[in-house]
Structure 1
């Protein structure tokens, strides 16, 4: 999830063919835009999501290469690729044969965040669910940080399930390999219970049959509910 949008943005709209011809885009940015385009097109045309594409024109070290922002009621898929070594590290983790399908999974994950923002449900919990209380020995500021971490973890779990639901629908022959890639990503340098510890939800989704629904959001919701623990 993008924590901060820079003030200088390039908003990209219209067909990908028009976007890709822009002299301002690097070859790497163009490749990623091509990779995520099926998800963007589906979100706009079939799901009617208010969605824009944004490319950061300045260096953005330390940022996720692809992230989600929310501005004035619209979701922004943001590419932060220039001067950002995280981009190459991300690419190094992906089998080249799986690159396009993996970029689609990543974009669908971000659209899970978009759906939650649009529904006014961001960091919210379902009726009847009781979230765990922060440890009593934490200072007030750390208590708030702990609660925010647990809320973010739930949102990341939902996003991962949306990404896998997209994969189940569009790339069923690659599901097992992409699921394994996502588990490896979430297991690297894992701190149990932290922001990106989504392994409980990924375990539920090992069988793609767990992700059935009319839309990728509906497909993810049931498994997400089953994985809620605290």
Structure 2
């Protein structure tokens, strides 16, 4: 009952003036309920400027859960209406892992939020040098290649934050959720593309791969740097 009251309070705070909780679909409510522990932690413990945006229009083909950034605030955006991908993603999760998997996905977006707030988006840490685009690529594709590598790094960091959250909050499910995330990243994989984070996931195969103590961001940073070095 306490979780229900907390969740309803979160909805009332997050969605007014966007919408009343009664305006939400069952699917939107389920996604929000799953993300709520991460959102509450971000706001109450980490004091991150995080808003929730539930898209009221149909959004076929959009990522069901994504992170935007505007006016110095992170926007956790749900695009679920008219979007079959939203239900498909839920259906791909074993039922007993649904809540923990939704938390992992929300924590992934929280990793993006932290990078935006730090002004570090697309930037390499000190001591690392960005690769040059292959000279064989046409000039108009070289920037696209560099952007793809940068996106891949950011996606890897987000995945590691999600797994660090799982290690801290759902250690009993870590192995299965790591396998689920690896399967998601392996599906229709183009090696080296935007969502090819498998090299980093391999480093995080066991929960003990993360250093103990510190925030989920600090835990992710340590493995992320190892992946960059390799």
Matched with 1:135 is 134
Structure 2 counterpart of 1:5 = none
Structure 2 counterpart SS, 1:15: helix
CA contact (8 A) 2:27 2:87 kept: no
Tell me which of 1, 10, 21 is aligned to 1:16: 10
Residue of structure 2 in register with 1:38 after alignment: 37
TM-score, structure 2 as length reference: 0.91
* CA drift at 1:87: 0.8
Cα distance, 1:15 vs structure 2 = 2.1
- Other structure's SS at 2:75 match: strand
Aligned to 2:103: 104
**Residue ranges of structure 2 left out of the alignment (5+ in a row):** 1-7
Tell me if the contact between 2:35 and 2:106 (Cα under 8 Å) persists in the aligned partners: yes
- For residues 158 and 87 of structure 1, the distance between their equivalents in structure 2, rounded to whole angstroms, comes to 23
Report the counterpart of residue 115 of structure 2 in structure 1. 116
Cα separation, 1, equivalents of 2:177 and 2:78? 21
Shift of 1:22: 2.0
Separation in structure 2 between the aligned mates of residue 211 and residue 36 of structure 1, nearest angstrom: 23
CA 1:106–1:203 in structure 2 vs 1: closer, same or farther (change >3 Å)? Answer: same
Alignment of 1:57-136 (within 5 A): 57-136=56-135
Aligned to 2:3: none
Where 1:190 maps in the other structure, the secondary structure is: coil
User: Which TM-score applies when normalising by structure 1?
Assistant: 0.91
Q: Are the counterparts in 2 of residues 109 and 159 from structure 1 also a CA contact under 8 Å?
A: yes
CA shift digits 1:159-198 (9 cap, x unpaired)? 0000000000000000000000000000000000000000
Pairing 1:227–2:206 present: no
Secondary structure of the structure 1 residue equivalent to 2:22? coil
Render the CA deviation track for 1:99-129: whole Å, top value 9, x for unaligned: 0000000000000000000000000001121
Distance in structure 2 (CA, Å) of the matches to 1:176 and 1:43: 24
Q: How far did 1:16 drift?
A: 2.5
SS at 1:137 equivalent: coil
Distance in 2 between the 1:188 and 1:131 partners? 27
Q: CA deviation at 1:229?
A: 4.4
- 1:6 corresponds in structure 2 to none
CA distance, structure 2, for counterparts of residue 62 and residue 21 of structure 1: 25
